[in-house]
Amino acid sequence: MTINLGGVDVPREHAIAFIHIGHSNMAGRATRPQSSRPFHFTETHPHAFMYHPGSAPELAIEPKTAGDTDAGGPGTALVKEAAMLAPDYYFISLGFGWPSAYCSQFVPGGLYYDKLIAAPKAIKGRVTFGGIFIYLGITERHGTAADRSGFAECINTLVTAIRNDVGEPTLPALMNDYEVEASGEFVVGGAVANAIRPEIERCPSVVSNFALVSAEGVGMQDDHHFNLDGHRTWVQRALATMKDKGWRPWAP
């Protein structure tokens, strides 16, 4: 099986698809620093693609990977950084983000599961799925107390559903740790952080093949969204975590 990427018929084994989903930080809110905009918004990589159902794969570029119309998320950085690590492979962003959404809205039967799984299901069989990347947690404040106290179990339900739908029961999953550089009402030690941070930290003990990726020291766009450099830093850390755990067989 092959997939055509930019006019090249790429074998399934060399076409690595990343599923990345989450709240507004995933959809994209980053616009600065100005010096970093070319990497995300104008400079493409010949082995870094994005795919949306109903259209052919295209070279990955912000703001088009996960839903926003004028700002960037981590999707382009994710596939470009991976492609630079493994030049013999191609990488495909399968992204979906929705502002203010929280975990229970993403699981099957929720508002957004059918939308987030549409691209992975449409491309299944033509690619090798490489991992699930998640930005969730801070938006649980929009849900109920049960959404917060059951966050780890909800993430397990979500990850398990995705794994089942793409036929990869052990597909690695990585999620942001709490956005510790957040400020204002989201500051570490505040009510929002105190309610959800312990639940985020439970996730690796509840979800198999799962890791948290630190947000410490990432660049911030505002009081709780990453800026362009922050997204790039986070995906570099995520890919390094995959290497440490033996989860990225496509790269040394």
Q: Give the rounded distance of the alpha carbon of 189 from its chain centre.
A: 26
Supply the pLDDT for residue 67. 84
Supply the pLDDT for residue 68. 74
pLDDT band at 133 (very low <50, low <70, confident <90, very high): very high
For 135, the enclosing helix (H) or strand (E) is strand 128-135
Lowest mean pLDDT among 61-70, 75-84, 189-198, 202-211: 61-70
Nearest residue to 62 via CA among 80, 86, 82, 47? 80
With 0-12 / 13-18 / 19 or more C-beta atoms within 10 angstroms meaning exposed / middle / buried, residue 125 is exposed
Cβ-contact 224, 138 below 8 angstroms: yes
The pair of three-digit structure tokens given for residue 238, joined into one six-digit string: 């995520």
Cβ-contact 202, 210 below 8 angstroms: no
Q: How far apart are CA 187 and CA 125, in angstroms?
A: 43
Cβ-contact 47, 6 below 8 angstroms: no
Phi, psi of 113 (to 5 degrees): -60, -45
Mean pLDDT across the stretch 29-36?
97
What does the pLDDT look like over 182-214, one tens digit per residue?
Answer: 999 999 999 999 999 999 999 999 999 999 999
Q: How far apart are CA 44 and CA 76, in angstroms?
A: 9
Amino acid at 46: P
What are the E-state strand segments in 51-103?
58-59, 90-97
